Structure 1
């Protein structure tokens, strides 16, 4: 059967089912980004011009997978908040608890390194305005003329936080109406940005990348309605998505939201519409743990990559030898940060800022 309709799976009363396959996809998306960045440092271990980075896939598309997952999770985890009193503040509080502490910690660590060991970094010391904008998730054009925070990969969070704010304003509406309102607003913003030259930060947020959040929200609505592709269609979705990524249509001037966002949405569909493994084997549990730690992996992998490069500098490990060592180092650091810092801080903040609804977010984000 290609498509069947059945209610989405639920956990015990009062809890949200953990989406194991989404966690696995999240782990894969984070590793895409880490592998992409590791190849920059890998060139340090090759003779001049002797290293060709892998482009078997556009590894940067891990970010696009994250954006689609974000749109999906935000709707999926907010089912009981739609049209509820005070839903907007409750939603924002949960998002801030989830996103801000770890990002501020990573940004503070980067700032400390840039001030004490500037030679370790490839970027100039950030100015005061850049530092403030970075901590406030405000798109800011830096001295290099690029709209990114001092911790450069934080540019994705500038999109995420804007999406959360728009969603928080719409969540007072019933579910489908809220999603439609967000989709229309983002579409209008992107449309306006194509017609006129918008000032910063509107020009930053008017990028078609924001449609990837809309893709994820639509997938969540379809899942809630009971859409369930059969195994054949799920395999087709997965295979076609990988093939589209391999083709890398951005080389044909296709916008990223289509070239990478559409296959990212297909991968998320293949994951969330399938049956959830109740007791995954050991390898599956380890991948799920890495998915839980994917946000820490995304934020802290540059520190692991550069530290590994400094430790191995002067050794004849070769570029791919460096990558083979650096990736596990990044994963171990991420899991340690997740277990020792992220989880305890989130638990403490949730107790401190309890919304009184007993509605802690059980799904873990990137």
Structure 2
């Protein structure tokens, strides 16, 4: 889950984006990105993060050691699809921001530094204390969270068969992999974008094969297809206008919400579900960008903060939920379970916003200074 959308030409805007969660630019004549921030996308990131938080709040409340019952029926079980929006958004943002870097090998270092600062410092700020906790108090975790190889791979966000120490980091592993793929395309040039359709064909073909070795199953995961969808949106919007964005947005959100709340064999399928939610995310994203190219959306400061803090919320919420549910389990038994879930999710979201305001930006600044100190010539 991750990038705020700004042009790569503005260092101050990029610095602000690097401490947010998942760039926005303005097109001149519909083709060239500018400096406008797509505030609608910022809000979308916040909503997607909130869906994931509600999903996990429902899961933890349903555990037998806490409340042992599901809230809101089984609907929250499918709120994890917020990550589908994030994957499509990430593909869009990276291509939109860095399209002009394609074929310019001297820009690879700049790209890599910005992607590193975007992901790793805030992540390590949560992960490293968890690693220490699980080593000192084995009962606080599971054996895989103390496995030495898994700890190393989790720290580096590299693919590994075991779940990462911070469970939600599985999405970041896919994110880093996509960043690496796009970095290779920057080096190879725009012609290498044709590798993405080939990757898509491989992902589709893998569905007919069945079980694959871990490495292949990771590379050919249906989730990776959503990055390609996002890249396709960016390429389309660089060349063409999208007609009737309000209607397109309504269609996208209608499909997304219907598939989430009224599951079908297709929407819950590991592959076709990614297509359904990915396509709906594509429609919403294209509509937002097209609308804001003509008429920027103005959001209240609190809603913009909510969007900018989405990455921090995503990182912090598992820990916040684990702590808060122990207190919630001591509430009077007649408190409706739905109230408990919403309260837990609210606490987790506020904890993520607090981390974003108080810690995330400082960590990014610290690591930026460290990188500059290690590379005196800098990266521009």
* TM-score for both structures, normalised by structure 2: 0.79
Matches within 5 A, 1:113-262: 113-121=133-141, 125-142=145-162, 148-175=163-190, 177-185=191-199, 187-188=201-202, 191=205, 194-195=208-209, 198-230=212-244, 231-248=246-263, 249-251=266-268, 255-262=272-279
Contact 2:251–2:283, Cα closer than 8 Å, also in 1 = no
- CA displacement at 1:243 relative to structure 2: 2.8
Q: Does residue 1:328 correspond to 2:346, yes or no?
A: yes
State the aligned residue count: 342
1:170 Cα offset (Å)? 0.8
Match runs of 1:15-94 below 5 Å: 16-43=35-62, 48-49=68-69, 51=71, 53-55=73-75, 58-94=78-114
Report which stretch shifted further, 80-89 or 328-337.
80-89
Structure with larger RCO (C-alpha < 8 A, sep 6+): 1
SS at 2:62 equivalent: helix
SS of alignment partner, residue 131 of structure 2 = helix
Q: Does residue 358 of structure 2 align to residue 340 of structure 1?
A: yes
Change (3 A) 1:199 1:275: same
Q: Deviations over 1:136-164 (max 9, x none)?
A: 2222223xxxxx21211111111111111
SS at match of 2:242: strand
Mean Cα displacement is larger for which, 195-204 or 128-137? 195-204
Contact 2:66 2:325 in 1 (8 A): no
2:330 to 310, 314, 327: 314
Counterpart CA distance in 2 for 1:198 and 1:219 is 30
Which residue matches 1:271?
288
Give per-residue Cα distances to partners, 1:269-311, cap 9 Å, x unaligned. Answer: 23222226657242xx322212111111111101111111122
Change (3 A) 1:123 1:326: farther
Distance change in 2, residues 1:330/1:129 (3 Å): same
How far apart, CA to CA, are the structure 2 residues paired with 1:127 and 1:68?
32
SS in 1 for 2:250: helix
* Secondary structure in structure 2 of the residue aligned to 1:138: coil
Change (3 A) 1:137 1:299: same
The Cα shift of 1:352 comes to 4.8
- Whether the 8 Å CA contact 2:122–2:360 is kept in 1: the answer is yes
| 2: CA distance, partners of 1:90 / 1:253 | 36
Selected match of 2:298 from 272, 276, 280: 280
Any stretches of 5+ residues in structure 2 without a counterpart?
1-27
TM-score normalized by the length of structure 1 = 0.82
Superposed CA offset, 1:52-108 (max 9, x none)? 544178211111110000000000111331222323332222111111112222221
Any gaps of 5 or more consecutive residues in structure 1?
143-147, 359-366
More helix by share: 2
Question: Match for 1:100 among 97, 120, 133?
Answer: 120
**Does the C-alpha gap of structure 1 residues 138 and 53 become closer, same or farther in structure 2, counting only changes over 3 Å?**
farther
Distance, in Å, in 2 between the alignment partners of 1:253 and 1:168 is 28
Over the aligned positions, Cα root-mean-square deviation in angstroms equals 3.0
Alpha-carbon distance change, 19 to 279 in structure 1, aligned in 2, over 3 angstroms: closer
Counterpart contact for 2:38–2:289, Cα < 8 Å: yes
Contact in 2 for aligned 1:244/1:263 (Cα 8 Å)? no
